Amino acid sequence: AQTVTQSQPEMSVQEAETVTLSCTYDTSESDYYLFWYKQPPSRQMILVIRQEAYKQQNATENRFSVNFQKAAKSFSLKISDSQLGDAAMYFCASPIQGAQKLVFGQGTRLTINP
Amino acid sequence: DTGVSQNPRHKITKRGQNVTFRCDPISEHNRLYWYRQTLGQGPEFLTYFQNEAQLEKSRLLSDRFSAERPKGSFSTLEIQRTEQGDSAMYLCASSWGGNQPQHFGDGTRLSIL
């Protein structure tokens, strides 16, 4: 079965600093995508960044970037220049081929200290 | 693009009652997904539609749960004879085809008294 694991239930960082959230996954598929989603308190889950497994280059979206290690099945999210608005639950997710239903990790609650 | 819309935002009901939730996906999206999220956990897949066809249901979806997507547009999720364990956030998401990011609604929070 496909699994996604986030080993850090909570993280905190000082405003303007950099933080890295960890994610490991297990899949038998040869071609797949990985996603990071952000869920602010009582608000909608939104896509932060997407990585295609066949691409060697790590995805980047403004202050958000990933460190994708395919052999190690690791997919970490780096947030640079952290802002107060980055405070949220962050979920790593991988879709299962075919249905493309998402399998989510347990989430990491990120706190930004002013 | 008005986003995925879910109604109601909150539903409080007594155990044993039936409830129905509605999801309006992004209009051009052909896939629609339902997930359930309990406090402090990641969402878990319940079921999904491609157009009007319900193509997969999770084992989490007991016989008390039913979902429809008539005409491939909005979808409804009904829970019959609600139980305490049904208390959760029910999330709807839509996408255009496979391997495309899913866009989520705000969810419907169900509380069973």
pLDDT of residue B1: 55
> Least CB-CB distance to B45: which of A91, A97, A102?
A102
Using CA coordinates, name the residue in chain B closest to A32.
B99
pLDDT of residue A99: 65
pLDDT of residue A61: 93
pLDDT digits 0-9 by tens, B26-66: 998 999 999 999 988 999 999 999 999 999 999 888 899 99
Give me chain B's average pLDDT, please: 93
CA-CA distance, B61 to B86, in Å (whole number)?
Answer: 11
SS3 for A86?
A: helix
Where is mean pLDDT largest: A69-73, B17-21, B70-74?
A: B17-21
pLDDT digits 0-9 by tens, A52-66: 988 889 999 999 999
Using CA coordinates, name the residue in chain A closest to B3.
A44
Tell me what percent of the residues of chain B surpass a pLDDT of 90.
82
Q: Cβ–Cβ of A44/B106 closer than 8 Å?
A: yes
Residues of chain A whose pLDDT is less than 50?
A: none
- Chain B hits for A97, CB-CB cut-off 8 Å, are 98
Q: Is the peptide bond before A95 cis (omega within 30 degrees of 0)?
A: no
- Chain B hits for A100, CB-CB cut-off 8 Å, are 31, 95, 98-100, 102
Which residues are within 8 A (CB) of B79 and not within 5 positions of it... i.e. 6 or more apart? B18, B19, B20, B64, B65, B86, B110
pLDDT digits 0-9 by tens, A40-51: 987 889 999 999
Residues from A in contact with B at Cβ < 8 Å: 4, 33, 35, 37, 43-47, 50, 91, 93, 95, 97-107
Mean pLDDT, to the nearest integer, of B68-93?
A: 95
pLDDT of residue A25: 93
> Least CB-CB distance to B42: which of A43, A50, A91?
A91
CB A67 within 8 A of CB A79: no
Using CA coordinates, name the residue in chain A closest to B6.
A44
Rg (CA), chain B: 13
Q: Please, which residues bridge with residue B53 across strands?
A: B50
pLDDT of residue B109: 97
- Chain A hits for B34, CB-CB cut-off 8 Å, are none
